[in-house]
Each structure stands twice: as C-alpha cells, then as structure tokens.
Amino acid sequence: MPQSLDTNRRIVLAERPKGQPDENTLRLETTDVPTPGADEMLVRTVFLSLDPYMRGRMNDAKSYAEPVAIDGVMTAQVVGRVEQSNLQGFAVGDYVLNMSGWQDYAISDGVQVVNLGQSPDNPSWALGILGMPGYTAYAGLLKIGEPKPGETVVVAAAAGPVGATVGQVAKLKGCRVVGIAGGPEKCAHVVQNLGFDACLDHRSDDLAGQLREACPDGIDVYFENVGGKVLYAVLPLLNPFARVPVCGVMAWYNLPGLPEGPDMGPVIMGTLLRMKVRMQGFIIFDNFGPEVYQEFVRDMTGWLKDGSVTYKEHLVEGLENAPEAFNQLLAGGNFGKMVVKVG
C-alpha cells in the first residue's frame, strides 16, 4: 500500500518482544490524516531512519529514554516535508528533520524540529552522515576516544554508518585503523573504499588470532558498537590507558536474559583495572553541548565536500517493509546506513 493523501499508515508496538522481534511485535494500522491546529504543522514522512537503539525502546526497562508504549507509534527520526503550516518559520514544501516515528503523517509544534529548507542536497543524509550517526561517530571518537597520531584504533561494525565514519575520521587524525565487519564484501569495502588499514570478518573462527596479527602494537582506542565475541577478542590487546567509547552492544540487544557461557565479568573488570582503561558509555545528545555539534557540522561538511569522507546508504522502499528491514539491521544485514523511503 503506497503513501496516500487521505490515509495515515502507522506502525505501532503491539507487544513487547522476548528476544528477536517477530510478526507479533509490530502492527501496521491506518487512521485519518490529522489536521494541524493553531501554531502547528502537518509533516509528511519522506525518509525514515532505522537504528539499533529502537530495539531497546521496545522493552519496558529503565533506560535513558521512556519505552514506546503498547499501541504507540514506534519512535524514529525522519526527514519529512511540510504539507500544511500554521507555524511561523515553517512553510509548505520545507524539508524538516523531526521525531515523527514510523508513520506517514504527524502533527508538530516545531519543538526540536530542524528546518532543512525547500531543496536540500541529499535530504536523507540528515539521518546519517550529517545527522545522529555521523555526530555519534565524530564526538564519541574525538571527545572520548581522543585518538593520537600513530595510535591503533579498532572499530566494530566498521561497515555501518557509525563505524565507517569513526574509521575515516581516525585515519584523518593519523591513526592506524583496523575494522571488524560481517563478511568479505563488507571488509573489502572498508579497506578499499573507506581507507582502513585492515578489516577482519567477525564470523571467522579465529577472530582473536587475526586481531592479534593486525594489531602488533596493541589497541589504544576501541570504538564499541557490538559487544559479544568482538569485545572478548579486543580485551587482551588493550594497551595501558586505552580508551573505549561505548556506543552500542548490538550482539546482546535481542537476548531475553543473561548470555550463556562463562561469566566474562572478571575478565572485563580485571582488564579495565590492570590496563587503567577508560570505558565510557554515551548518548550523543545528552553528553555533548552545542559547541561540539557545531564543530561536527563544520568538519564533516568540509570532509564530504573534499572527498576525505565517503558515505553509503542502504535504502529500503516502503513503510510496510520497515519491520523486516529492522530485523535485518539487528542481524547485521545492512550495508551502510539503513533508511526507509516512505514517500
């Protein structure tokens, strides 16, 4: 069912998943298109961002943000266009960046909405390299990882939107960069197109051994996106005073409880203690002020313009395909930033 002028399709959380989301987790429903009131505007979704953090919002658990309510529209950042406006500063036809969620239309009062103008170049990039993922990579690496020329930086999920950006920025800062990604095609892209010094397939039976060979001088910065066996392979190689920005732990998002196997807590905590490692989790818009965001926009815009940084999107057509695409994302099946073209 394509986007229409008089029907609002929306995908809501039908039940909280136990493990991986399935066909009962999300529900596609239709409602009337809402009408904006005074000091409001109607926004039609054009591009919908799919991101790993959304899995945590499906759980009713303490976190940095409230969970999505049962029967509530799944949360997401979108790029949309203004269809009707009673709001100063927003005109019909403007592209906007906001949190409309998984639906065709939404009413907005303009709070925390960014006006991208009538004809922005690559509007979907506001959901990726020039948006939250790009900013996460930039600030997490430079403000927490603090890479220095000649150091070794290891990046998990290196072909994804955050990891790919982390590695390219680390190279610009004079570091040796080793990526970890899923499969030979992604690893080839990371080395040949993104300029990493090496990339290892996390599906390999000997990831730990390959990582030792790729990092003969140890690891100074590990940008953590996944957790799991990648983290366990990295731990023995961390140098004294290594820095570990923690952006995500995708390998564990679908676990219904604690992972099976040996308790790795003593190894993790012991390594942090002996190697004096600084490991810091961060939520991008909570940890850094507007001055860091301004630095990011300035630097990233320049790097994209001069070709120092390249960017890849994984485009999915149709809102109805968002649930399947989201599971594909959680399984590492995306190749670049996953965006749904809704309208």
3-class state of residue 158 by DSSP: coil
Segments forming the whole domain that contains residue 259: 132-285
334/254 same-domain check: no
Mean pLDDT across the stretch 40-56? 96
Q: Are residues 235 and 317 in the same domain?
A: no
CATH classification at residue 269: 3.40.50.720
Is residue 259 located within the same domain as residue 142?
A: yes
| Region 235-250 average pLDDT | 96
State how many domains the chain has: 2
Q: Tell me the pLDDT of the chain averaged across its residues.
A: 95
Quote the CA–CA distance of 153 and 315 in Å, as a whole number.
29
Per the listing, tokens 């899995």 go with: 55
Are both 74 and 173 inside the same structural domain? no
Contacts of 172 (CB under 8 A, 6+ apart): 303, 308, 309
CA distance 7 to 39: 23
Residue 299 maps to a domain: no
User: What is the tens place of the pLDDT at every residue in 78-102?
Assistant: 999 999 999 999 999 999 999 999 9
pLDDT at residue 257 in the model: 81
pLDDT at 193: 96
Q: Is residue 118 domain-shared with residue 137, that is, in the same domain? A: no
Give the separation between CA 335 and CA 302, rounded to whole angstroms: 24
- 96 CA to centre of own chain: 19
Nearest to 37 by CA among 104, 109, 100: 109
> Which CATH number goes with the domain that contains 90?
3.90.180.10
Question: Per-residue confidence at 251, pLDDT binned at 50, 70, 90?
Answer: confident
**Domain stop point among 268, 285, 302:** 285
Per-residue pLDDT reduced to its tens digit, 287-308: 898 999 999 999 999 999 999 9
Residue 266 lies in a domain: yes
pTM of the model: 0.91
Looking at the structure, tell me whether residues 140 and 277 fall in a common domain: yes
Same domain for 264 and 146, yes or no, is yes
54 has pLDDT over 90: yes
Q: Is the pLDDT of residue 1 over 80?
A: no
Query: What is the mean predicted confidence (pLDDT) over 106-133?
Result: 96
Same domain, 189 and 107: no
| Domain contains 16 | yes
Specify whether 241 is located in the same domain as 276.
Answer: yes
